[in-house]
Amino acid sequence: MKNRTLLILRHGKSDWTTGDDDFDRPLVARGRLGSKKMGAWIRSRKLVPDSVLSSPAERARATTEAACKAMGLPLKKVRWDERIYAAPLEYLMAALADCPKGAGSVLLVGHNPGLEELIEHLTEGRVEIPADGKLLPTSALAHLEVRQDWQNLASGCATLVAVTRPGEVPDGMAVEAAVEATPEEEERGPVPDYFFTQSAVLPYRQADGKLQVMVIASRKGTRWVIPKGVKEPELSLRDSASKEALEEAGIRGRIDEEPIGHYDYAKWGGVCKVAVFPMEVSESVPEEEWEESHRERRWVAPQKAQRLLDEAALGKLVGQLAKHLDKR
């Protein structure tokens, strides 16, 4: 039987100053950078996994999303498994046992001390502990070769190939990926000038008295965006935004008459200018009516949406949403 590859990634450095519960603690900037670097490193070594298992805790989820983006791996490859959060060894083994039989490589994203216990168990303790006493610090990645299938893992069935720490990976590897283009766009060549005028909706709602913002997965599922598209020549910016909201996110609602602001991003050898219209969501259409139902959509707090979205200027608009709504 051909050996299998197991990659074990500890979540990035988290923020203890927010006052959030342990499960909801976010990453700090250094943690996000480390997660991107490790994803880029995995891709550079041609180790992109067939399947990903991740704890759903916020710091692990953010680590997984950043690493998958850097790998160019769709988030639909991820299984969010509650057993991995603060898990003892037996829970981690059970999660791995549920991996697809045909998966030749798996990435597991989780927490210590469980991850280090898993490595020591699978290698039967044949690991060299670094001088600082930390086998797997935050954002570190362990690469193991496994001689059993996922359903029959046993002590001593694996060899530790390497442990890579984020400090060993150049920061340049974490450079943001280029804006995705569809195959049709890549073949199109030079684009009309009107393609650089775009509009988007910033979907929001009130849930239990708290403001929430919807983000959706990009076409390839590697990053989070808001519904956005080229302004149709026969439509206004606002109406084009409404059309994108229904197609890309499967949502309807009340859209402001005027945009909350604009942001720019580079594409097609130029700069696209996007008008962003707040939209109070009143309806999510059924899956069978949602044109792009392959995407994932999530409701999150505005602060989290700011962390998930790439464009800094768009993040600022999200941060201004609450004040904008209060002024009505």
pLDDT in tens, 9-52: 999 999 888 888 899 999 988 898 899 999 999 998 999 999 99
CATH number at residue 303: 3.90.79.10
Are residue 161 and residue 234 in the same domain, yes or no? Answer: no
Are residue 220 and residue 163 in the same domain, yes or no? Answer: no
Measure the CA–CA gap between 44 and 136, rounded to whole angstroms: 21
Q: Of 152, 174, 196, which residue is a domain's last?
A: 174
Are residue 21 and residue 136 in the same domain, yes or no? Answer: yes
| pLDDT of 185 higher than 60 | no
Going along 16-140, which residue ranges are E strands?
Answer: 51-54, 78-80, 105-110
Which domain does 204 fall in, by range? 183-326
Measure the CA–CA gap between 11 and 108, rounded to whole angstroms: 10
Are residue 143 and residue 8 in the same domain, yes or no? Answer: yes
Q: Of 147, 174, 201, which residue is a domain's last?
A: 174
Are residue 301 and residue 202 in the same domain, yes or no? Answer: yes
pLDDT in tens, 95-123: 999 999 899 999 999 999 999 999 999 99
Measure the CA–CA gap between 115 and 127, rounded to whole angstroms: 13
Q: Of 126, 152, 174, which residue is a domain's last?
A: 174
Are residue 150 and residue 118 in the same domain, yes or no? Answer: yes
Are residue 138 and residue 280 in the same domain, yes or no? Answer: no
Are residue 116 and residue 200 in the same domain, yes or no? Answer: no
CATH number at residue 23: 3.40.50.1240
Name the percent of the chain lying above pLDDT 90: 64
| Under 8 Å between Cβ of 229 and 220 | no
Provide the terminal-to-terminal Cα distance of the chain, rounded to the nearest Å: 66
Measure the CA–CA gap between 210 and 319, rounded to whole angstroms: 14
| Under 8 Å between Cβ of 300 and 212 | yes
Are residue 105 and residue 240 in the same domain, yes or no? Answer: no
Mean pLDDT of the chain: 89
pLDDT in tens, 234-250: 889 999 999 999 989 99
Number of domains into which the chain is organized = 2
pLDDT in tens, 281-291: 999 988 777 87
Are residue 169 and residue 201 in the same domain, yes or no? Answer: no
Question: Residue 1's pLDDT is what?
Answer: 60
**CB-based contacts of 238, cutoff 8 Å, min separation 6:** 199, 255, 257, 277
Are residue 190 and residue 303 in the same domain, yes or no? Answer: yes
